[in-house]
Structure 1
Amino acid sequence: GYIDPKLDPFTRSRIEGIRSFLALYASPQSPTYGKWKAASIAAALTMGRSTYCARVLRRLAREYISDRSLLPENPYGYWNNTLL
């Protein structure tokens, strides 16, 4: 059955963005097949985001390809914890 990875919405959206970006880049049926920048822009647009998001997706995808154990972390996730 399905096991929930318990990811926060920020991390989940980044992982889904990376997945859609790499799918657009690697799928021969995609008009952005083999076009790194165009695929990232298309993925960002489907997420309702800008070209800055496309740049972030490219960086995250390169990091993930070089080390498959790396997952994007939520930099905002610890604001509710006390510093004491």
Structure 2
Amino acid sequence: MESLKKEAGSGILMGIVGVLLLGAIIKTLAMPVSAALKLGGVIFDIGVAGLAWVFLDEAIESSESDIYRAILAIAAAILVAFAW
């Protein structure tokens, strides 16, 4: 049962980051700019989502100290708040 809880936590996290990424990509594609700028925006959004996923996954599943996990969670929150 414990492993099921860990997997559900990662799945929920992946779903949240995926929804944020989808919204950012749709917003970028709807902008009235050239195709090159749209492509750059989509690549940037994918990079931000990847970094947020890595930080949050490590913060949730890490066996390191609580301070380290809190720093990773704060870094992910700052990344999502200011990059998107």
What range is the shorter-chain TM-score in? 0.3 to 0.5
TM-score by length of structure 2 reads: 0.36
TM-score by length of structure 1 reads: 0.36
More helix by share: 2
